[in-house]
Structure 1
Amino acid sequence: MPRVPHTESHGKVGCRPSRSAKQRFRRKLKKLTSRKRAGDFEDIVASINRVTVGWINYYCIANMKKFIEETQMWLQRRLRQMIWKRWKHVRTRYRKLRKYGISHNEALKLAASRKGYWNNSKTPALHRALSNERLLKWGLRNLNLRLKASQFRSDYKLKRYLNY
């Protein structure tokens, strides 16, 4: 019989969302951040926030810090990809990159790049132009902070219920 590795729980009991629940969540976010999706960026971010807040509130008692961190990074890259596609022309891309503080040479090189949207979404220049802070400023919720707030609230309710 093969040996199954496990981690020490240090006397704590925990739970986590199932693999299929995580996959459904990712699929739903992927559909919401589709490159061909029409609509205002604010509406798209609002629908993403609705889904993520609901999912995190439902699974707030679970141990999923690493999954949420990975999903946050993946979601931010998906949004960069979507924005990059919406800036259709080289001229528009160049102007937007310059507007967000990228140097002339870097902006020209990235704007004229023939690489795909997903590949360009991980470039350092695009990360500086569309930083995580800028995405948060545009309305995207920080999933890590949302998870901490939900877990704190659920711990507080549980302690109050058990009269701690």
Structure 2
Amino acid sequence: MKSELKRLTSRSNGGSNAVRKSKLNKFIAGWINYFSMADMKSMLERMDEWLRRRVRQIYWKQWKKVRTRYKRIKKFGIPLWKVHEMANCRKATWRAALMLNSVLTKEEIAKPGYLSMLGYYTKECVN
């Protein structure tokens, strides 16, 4: 499952965010419906955290320039010194995605329509 999620959230596949989101949502729904009888709540919590970090990594990579990062992070209403610090971060994408956790929260990632694995599991599966 993790290798397929890695393939779907790859930054080099050339698809738009809408295409990536729809493929990811189809995969999550299909996988959870197939394994709905299993008790996998803790595993899905870990995979959800990892997947959200992958999505943050994608957004960080799309915001290529410091100016773009500054504008996008500023929209979330955090202090300007923190915006400046985050936008000028020179860490790699995986580390920067961890830093973006305070800006792109679960709710912000769910707004465009990304499914939460654990949310879908608790909604659809009765265990």
- Sort the TM-score into its range (normalised by shorter chain): over 0.9
Q: Equivalent residue of 2:98, what SS? A: coil
Unmatched tracts of structure 2, length 5 or more: none
Partner of 2:13: 37
- How far did residue 146 of structure 1 move? 1.3
- Report what 2:102 is aligned to: 128
Deviates more, 1:37-46 or 1:80-89: 37-46
> Counterpart amino acid of 1:94?
Y
TM-score, structure 1 normalization: 0.73
Question: Are 2:81 and 1:98 equivalent residues in the alignment?
Answer: no
CA distance in 2, matches of 1:66, 1:108: 36
Q: Identity over aligned residues, as a percent?
A: 35
Residue 62 (1) aligns with residue 38 (2): yes
Residue 131 of structure 1 aligns with an amino acid whose one-letter code is: T
Q: Which residue of 2 aligns with 1:114?
A: 90
| 1:40 Cα deviation from its structure 2 partner | 2.1
2:113 counterpart of 1:139: yes
CA distance in 2, matches of 1:81, 1:116: 9
Deviations 1:110-144 (A, max 9, x none): 11111100001111xx2232111011111011211
Which residue pairs with 1:19 in the alignment?
none
Q: Offset of 1:145 from its aligned partner?
A: 2.1
Whole-angstrom CA distance in 2 between matches of 1:118 and 1:51: 23
CA RMSD of aligned residues (A): 1.3
Displaced runs of 4 or more, over 6 A: none
Q: TM-score, normalised by structure 2?
A: 0.93
Between Structure 1 and Structure 2, how many residues are aligned? 127
In the alignment, structure 1 segments of 5+ residues that lack a partner are 1-24, 156-164
> Larger radius of gyration, structure 1 or 2?
1
Q: Which residue of 2 aligns with 1:82?
A: 58
Q: Higher relative contact order at CA 8 Å, sep ≥6: structure 1 or structure 2?
A: 2
Cα distance in 2 between the residues matched to 1:34 and 1:120: 16
